[in-house]
């Protein structure tokens, strides 16, 4: 069966390239809902043409102000097949690039590659998922299983309005395949770091720096001491990093600063380490008499750990690739994705099924054309196995 899928996907090369380029040609920055919805409309139309039951899902998050929801585009859910079991194909069509980026990063084919903003991260992945689904459907391989695609519009800005949708679909699924870009050489991602962000605010007492310095309490000084303490939370050998990325404070050079703050990025490979860092951040106490501290934030993306279910799913994908004469590797990623949410629920999740290429969020963003059809064939073969319950 995998060989049949390879022949099919190779024969659909031009269809796939047209699909990918059509999405890339419609710029879709996360913070421009009108633009995102234009891209979503094109994607929905193409999925409907293939027989998908497509639903547009407006952003909705309990407690999030309406004005914040208005800044996010609609998400898309597409269902194929009528089985009682479910496979979830997951990804996003928003990008980090602003409207007008195509002028300096034109969509083009050159030296066996396709270049364009958002093509690697991750519109080519949506094309691969769709072609693989077509291949399985045309081969009659879904049986008592349905394929649900969930393409979101806010992944690049934290998935605040899509997380509940993602988790709800994952809980109904036997497995989740995530179409974020591959690792170098096409390796899949069997683990991802959890990602957190904290804001630390220090408050002191203002005073004249020359006349009454003793009456002041420096928030900047307090923040500096806390930064040293925060640095001690790191354990790079275990994959734990805590990075103070932004600091600010004070008003004038001759005023003892009453306020200062820092924004901190935290990453961890395991849930246990993420919880340890979060507890330590929330337990920070002032080191200077009269100073006050406030810590907000936390780990909004739990780690995607290489669980037994993840490992089993990778072995199945590896076997399919082997039948096609391909070697499939695995690795880990320092950044998070929506797959972090599904894996944390205990649902077998395999990430990095997107295109082989390079340049996510970079000016040289591209995908390798020759790798597209074999990639789609591996995905189709794995989907057929999962649909068959093997």
Domain with CATH 3.40.630.10 in the chain: 2-192+303-388
The residue-averaged pLDDT of 363-370 equals: 98
What is the enclosing helix (H) or strand (E) of 226? Answer: helix 219-231
Cα gap 353→318, rounded to integer Å: 12
Half-sphere exposure of 389 (CA within 13 A, CB side): 6
Q: Which pLDDT tens digit goes with each residue over 120-179?
A: 999 999 999 999 999 999 998 798 999 999 999 999 999 999 999 999 999 999 999 999
Q: Which pLDDT tens digit goes with each residue over 13-40?
A: 999 999 999 999 999 999 999 999 999 9
User: Please, which pLDDT band fits residue 61 given cuts at 50, 70 and 90?
Assistant: low
User: Please, which pLDDT band fits residue 373 given cuts at 50, 70 and 90?
Assistant: very high
Instruction: Give φ, ψ of 92 to 5 degrees.
Output: -145, 155
Indicate if the pLDDT at residue 236 is higher than 90.
yes
Instruction: Give φ, ψ of 377 to 5 degrees.
Output: -65, -40
What are all long-range contacts of 259-262, with beta carbons under 8 Å and residues at least 24 apart? 259/201, 259/202, 259/203, 259/204, 259/219, 260/201, 260/202, 260/204, 260/219, 260/220, 260/222, 260/223, 261/199, 261/200, 261/201, 261/202, 261/223, 262/199, 262/200, 262/223, 262/226, 262/227
Cα gap 149→130, rounded to integer Å: 9
The predicted pLDDT at position 67 comes to 45
Indicate if the pLDDT at residue 68 is higher than 60.
no
Of 147, 134, 152, 151, residue with least CA distance to 173? 147
The predicted pLDDT at position 63 comes to 54
The predicted pLDDT at position 140 comes to 87
The residue-averaged pLDDT of 181-185 equals: 97
Percent of the chain residues topping a pLDDT of 90: 93
User: Please, which pLDDT band fits residue 62 given cuts at 50, 70 and 90?
Assistant: low
What is the fold of 194-301?
A: Alpha-Beta Plaits (3.30.70)
Indicate if the pLDDT at residue 209 is higher than 50.
yes
Domain with CATH 3.30.70.360 in the chain: 194-301
The residue-averaged pLDDT of 231-256 equals: 96
What is the enclosing helix (H) or strand (E) of 149? Answer: strand 145-152
Q: Kindly give, in sequence order, each residue whose CB lies less than 8 Å from that of residue 224, ignoring residues fewer than 6 positions away.
A: none
Summary mean pLDDT of the chain: 95
Q: Where are the alpha helices (DSSP H) in 232-270?
A: none
Q: Which pLDDT tens digit goes with each residue over 277-327?
A: 999 999 999 999 999 999 999 999 999 999 999 999 999 999 999 999 999
The predicted pLDDT at position 222 comes to 98
pTM score, two decimals? 0.92
Cβ–Cβ < 8 Å for 145, 87 = yes
Q: Which two tokens stand for residue 76?
A: 């898309």
Q: Which CATH class is domain 2-192+303-388?
A: alpha beta
């Amino acid at each position: 069966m995998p060989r049949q899928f390879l022949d099919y996907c190779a024969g659909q090369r031009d269809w796939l390239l047209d699909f990918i380029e059509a999405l890339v040609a419609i710029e879709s920055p996360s913070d421009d809902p009108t633009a995102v919805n234009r891209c979503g409309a094109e994607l929905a139309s193409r999925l409907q043409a293939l027989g998908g039951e497509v639903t547009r899902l407006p952003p909705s998050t309990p407690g999030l102000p309406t004005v914040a929801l208005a800044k996010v585009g609609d998400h898309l859910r597409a269902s194929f097949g009528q089985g009682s079991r479910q496979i979830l194909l997951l990804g996003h069509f928003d990008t980090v690039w602003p409207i007008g980026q195509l002028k300096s990063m034109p969509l083009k084919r050159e030296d066996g590659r396709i270049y364009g903003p958002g093509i690697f991260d991750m519109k080519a992945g949506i094309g691969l998922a769709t072609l693989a689904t077509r291949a399985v459907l045309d081969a009659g391989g879904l049986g008592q299983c349905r394929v649900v695609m969930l393409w979101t519009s806010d992944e690049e800005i934290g998935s605040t309005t899509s997380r509940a949708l993602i988790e709800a679909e994952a809980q109904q699924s036997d497995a989740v395949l995530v179409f974020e870009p591959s690792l170098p050489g096409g390796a899949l991602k069997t683990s991802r770091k959890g990602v957190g962000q904290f804001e630390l605010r220090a408050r002191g007492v203002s005073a004249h720096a020359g006349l009454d310095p003793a009456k002041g309490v420096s928030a900047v000084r307090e923040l500096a001491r806390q930064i040293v303490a925060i640095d001690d939370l790191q354990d790079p050998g275990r994959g734990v990093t805590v990075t103070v990325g932004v600091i600010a404070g004070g008003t004038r050079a001759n005023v003892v600063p009453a306020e200062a703050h820092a924004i901190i990025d935290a990453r961890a490979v395991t849930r246990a380490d993420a919880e340890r860092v979060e507890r330590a951040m929330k337990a920070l106490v002032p080191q200077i008499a009269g100073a006050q501290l406030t810590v907000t934030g936390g780990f909004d993306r739990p780690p995607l750990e290489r669980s037994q279910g993840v490992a089993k799913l990778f072995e199945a994908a590896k076997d399919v690739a082997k039948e096609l004469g391909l070697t499939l590797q695995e690795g880990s990623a320092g950044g998070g994705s929506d797959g972090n949410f599904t894996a944390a629920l205990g649902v077998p999740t395999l990430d990095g099924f997107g295109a082989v290429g390079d340049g996510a969020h970079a000016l040289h963003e591209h995908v390798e054309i020759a790798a597209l059809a074999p990639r789609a064939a591996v995905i189709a073969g794995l989907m057929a196995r999962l649909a068959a319950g093997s």
